[in-house]
């Protein structure tokens, strides 16, 4: 990939990450502008102190400008790596360029950035939807260390492939809804046999306690009585 394409991919990834983490509305340019404004602020300033100036909505009073910049850049790095892999696969002929068979491969061969944008949007959509609905659910934050690395890898794969609307990846971990309201099916039944007993124990305990969503976070709370794992 040329340097120009790398730069375009990085900008797209930053815009997507900023749009997702800052709950923005508007264009890619708006998202990049908000990110640049945030990056130019004193790192110790809390988002709630500058939200009106930047045009964002602060949902956590403890988050600082500096920490949010790091979160956005971390997510952007992940997205850019995914995009580069996607483009490399396309150039190598290892994947079909016609996404879901809706586009003719010859016609799309000259529009790879558009394909990457489509893939990035799909990758972020589930996380954005769950994040937007988080306030409507009683959620508990649990440390990722309570899950074996195999469970973490499987969640990452399922989130990336969009295999379930019950699970979505975030830059720091995962959201897992505990009940599919449409089918009234607990997530533990939907994923029966796929994960370890530790995964099901955390989710079952959370549901028994009245929670509707578990947020697995690298820096989340560890609880007595649950095994921890080194990742």
Tokens, residue 122: 């799909």
> Between residues 96 and 108, which one has the greater pLDDT?
96
pLDDT at residue 74 is higher than 70: yes
pLDDT mean over 46-58:
76
State the Cα–Cα distance between residues 165 and 127, nearest whole angstrom: 9
**pLDDT band, very low/low/confident/very high, at 87 (cuts 50, 70, 90):** low
**Do 166 and 217 touch, CB atoms closer than 8 A?**
no
**pLDDT band, very low/low/confident/very high, at 84 (cuts 50, 70, 90):** low
pLDDT at 126: 45
The C-alpha torsion from 214 through 136 and 33 to 72, rounded to 10°, is 0
pLDDT at residue 150 is higher than 90: yes
Enumerate the domain spans of the chain.
3-127, 134-217
What are φ and ψ of residue 201, in 5° steps? -65, -45
pLDDT at residue 100 is higher than 80: no
pLDDT at 145: 93
**Do 157 and 144 touch, CB atoms closer than 8 A?**
no
Tokens, residue 63: 């988050």
pLDDT at 164: 63
Size (the chain), residues: 231
For 181-211, write each residue's pLDDT tens digit: 566 677 778 777 889 999 999 998 888 888 8
Contacts 24+ apart (CB under 8 A), 157-164: 159/126, 159/127, 160/82, 160/123, 162/122, 162/123, 162/125, 162/126, 164/190, 164/191
State the Cα–Cα distance between residues 31 and 14, nearest whole angstrom: 8
């Amino acid at each position: 990939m040329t340097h120009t394409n790398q730069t375009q991919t990085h900008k797209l990834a930053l815009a997507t990450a900023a749009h997702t983490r800052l709950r923005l509305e508007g264009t890619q340019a708006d998202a990049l502008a908000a990110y640049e404004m945030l990056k130019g602020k004193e790192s110790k300033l809390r988002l709630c102190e500058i939200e009106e100036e930047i045009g964002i909505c602060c949902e956590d009073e403890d988050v600082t400008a500096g920490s949010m910049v790091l979160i956005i850049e971390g997510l952007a790095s992940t997205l850019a790596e995914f995009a580069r892999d996607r483009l490399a696969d396309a150039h190598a002929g290892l994947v079909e360029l016609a996404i879901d068979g809706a586009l003719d491969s010859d016609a799309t061969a000259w529009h790879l950035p558009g394909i990457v944008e489509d893939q990035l949007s799909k990758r972020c959509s589930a996380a954005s939807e769950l994040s937007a609905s988080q306030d409507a659910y009683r959620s508990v934050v649990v440390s990722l260390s309570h899950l074996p690395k195999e469970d973490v890898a499987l969640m990452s794969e399922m989130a990336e492939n969009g295999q379930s609307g019950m699970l979505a990846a975030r830059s720091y971990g995962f959201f897992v809804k505990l009940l599919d309201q449409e089918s009234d099916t607990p997530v533990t039944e939907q994923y029966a046999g796929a994960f370890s007993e530790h995964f099901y124990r955390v989710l079952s305990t959370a549901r028994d306690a009245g929670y509707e969503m578990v947020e697995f976070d690298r820096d989340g709370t560890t609880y007595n009585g649950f095994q921890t794992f080194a990742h």
